[in-house]
Amino acid sequence: DKRTLNQFRRFTGRAEGLSISFEAHLLGSRIEYDEERDTLRINSVPTQLRDQLKRRKAQIGE
């Protein structure tokens, strides 16, 4: 049915060195879109990404 198909749909986008892709069912829970501010918020950052960000932060001394 249509509801099941929508569950497997993905949102994707690319621009200026940024690429993002996520499953549609995450919108409104792990991914929040603020239309007024034109921002996305990621809740519960994936472990691999979080580790990379922490390593980078340590490298630049923040």
**Integer CA distances (angstroms), 60 to 25, 45, 48, in order:** 35, 21, 19
Record the pTM.
Answer: 0.74
Asked if residue 20 lies in contact with residue 13, where contact means CB atoms within 8 angstroms, the answer is yes
State both tokens at 6.
């929508």
State both tokens at 36.
């007024």
* Ordered DSSP codes for the chain: -HHHHHHT-EEEEEETTEEEEEEGGGBTTTEEEETTTTEEEESS--HHHHHHHHHHHHHHT-
Residue 4 has pLDDT above 90, yes or no: no
Higher pLDDT, residue 42 or 7: 42
Residues 36-40, mean pLDDT to the nearest whole number: 97
